[in-house]
């Protein structure tokens, strides 16, 4: 085992957070800004990249590892949390929006999973957080995630978050599943991933489901989310009231603020 072994517990339902228990000198790596709280004797340090051996040695290796994260839209830096005390200590990480946290034991998944770019939350030290290029042009241009997705490699625990309810589907050899491109969260490395255009001009233009599906073929395991953050954001934006100038309402317009303005006139 090259990754640190960590114990964990999930809390909550729709707004989950994960409790990670660290033995002395154990370390967990997390996305910057995901910390919720931590007990004493937890040492926090900001590092380039993920701190894994796959990142390379020396300054240039660390810079290259961190630079790959920029391609996936993530920060150059990650944060490590190490138990520097004598007994067990706990650190807590929260998801950035409503949904679920999925614990992934990479040692039981062939040592690698592929996930959407913003899905990674935290992992045991030693897990490599890299990039996965889509080899097919169709999947690259129309897959919703572009040519690049995240890949998590190692033999430790990793935590992935997604929106809404999470559905885990195990595909048999030759079995195919068509998924809305935004609803795909993660898949094991043996799943064949491609993009298929919606059949029929009328359905494509007026169906409201987009022009393309992610087509996943087994064998392998796929995780699907019921509410992608992009879909939630677009609904909120569409429902937001608009001022005459074309922008959203300020804090003093509409509702109680608007009532006070009317009373003052």
Query: Does 89 reside within a domain?
Result: yes
How many C-beta atoms lie closer than 10 Å to residue 264's C-beta?
6
Domains held by the chain: number? 1
Query: Does 240 reside within a domain?
Result: no
Rounded-to-integer distance, Cα 102 and Cα 88, Å? 23
CATH number of the domain bearing residue 224:
3.60.160.10
Q: What is the pLDDT of residue 133?
A: 65
pTM for this structure?
A: 0.76
Q: Which residue has the tokens 């004493």?
A: 40
Query: Does 264 reside within a domain?
Result: no
Query: Does 252 reside within a domain?
Result: no
Rounded-to-integer distance, Cα 218 and Cα 232, Å? 29
Query: Does 146 reside within a domain?
Result: yes
Rounded-to-integer distance, Cα 142 and Cα 132, Å? 16
Q: What is the pLDDT of residue 65?
A: 53
Rounded-to-integer distance, Cα 234 and Cα 240, Å? 10
Cα separations in angstroms, 42 against 4, 51, 150, 213: 16, 17, 28, 44
Digitized pLDDT (tens) for each residue of the chain, 265 residues in all: 567 888 999 999 888 999 999 999 999 999 888 999 999 999 999 887 666 665 555 555 555 555 555 555 556 678 999 999 999 999 999 988 888 999 999 999 999 999 988 889 999 998 988 887 655 545 445 544 445 788 899 999 999 999 989 999 999 999 999 888 788 899 999 999 887 766 654 444 544 445 677 889 989 999 999 988 777 777 777 787 765 555 454 444 455 455 445 455 5
Query: Does 165 reside within a domain?
Result: yes
Q: What is the pLDDT of residue 201?
A: 47
Residue 216, C-beta contacts closer than 8 angstroms, at least 6 positions apart: 171, 176, 177, 178, 179, 184, 187, 191, 192, 193, 194, 222
Query: Does 258 reside within a domain?
Result: no
Query: What domain range includes position 179?
Result: 7-234
Beta bridge partner(s), residue 100: 162
Q: Which residue has the tokens 């006139």?
A: 265
Q: What is the pLDDT of residue 260?
A: 46
Query: Does 129 reside within a domain?
Result: yes
Q: What is the pLDDT of residue 206?
A: 47
């Amino acid at each position: 085992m090259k990754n640190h072994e960590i114990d964990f517990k999930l809390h909550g339902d729709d707004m989950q957070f994960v409790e990670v228990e660290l033995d002395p000198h154990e370390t967990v790596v997390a996305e910057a800004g995901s910390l919720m709280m931590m007990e004493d004797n937890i040492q926090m340090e900001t590092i380039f990249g993920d701190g894994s051996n796959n990142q390379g040695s020396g300054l240039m290796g660390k810079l290259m590892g961190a630079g790959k994260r920029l391609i996936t839209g993530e920060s150059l830096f990650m944060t490590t949390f190490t138990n520097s005390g004598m007994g067990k200590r706990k650190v807590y990480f929260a998801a950035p929006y409503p949904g679920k946290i999925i614990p992934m034991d990479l040692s039981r998944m062939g040592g690698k999973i592929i996930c959407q770019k913003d899905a990674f939350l935290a992992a045991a030290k030693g897990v490599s957080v890299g990039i996965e290029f889509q080899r097919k042009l169709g999947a690259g241009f129309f897959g919703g995630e572009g040519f690049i997705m995240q890949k998590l490699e190692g033999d430790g625990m990793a935590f992935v978050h997604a929106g809404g309810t999470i559905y885990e589907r195990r595909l048999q050899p030759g079995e195919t599943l068509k998924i809305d491109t935004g609803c795909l969260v993660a898949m094991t490395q043996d799943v064949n991933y491609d993009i298929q255009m919606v059949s029929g001009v009328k359905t494509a233009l007026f169906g409201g489901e987009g022009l393309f599906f992610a087509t996943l073929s087994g064998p392998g395991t796929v995780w699907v989310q019921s509410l992608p953050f992009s879909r939630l954001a677009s609904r909120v934006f569409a429902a937001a009231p608009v001022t005459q100038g074309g922008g959203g309402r300020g804090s003093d317009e509409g509702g109680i603020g608007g009532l006070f303005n009317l009373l003052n006139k």
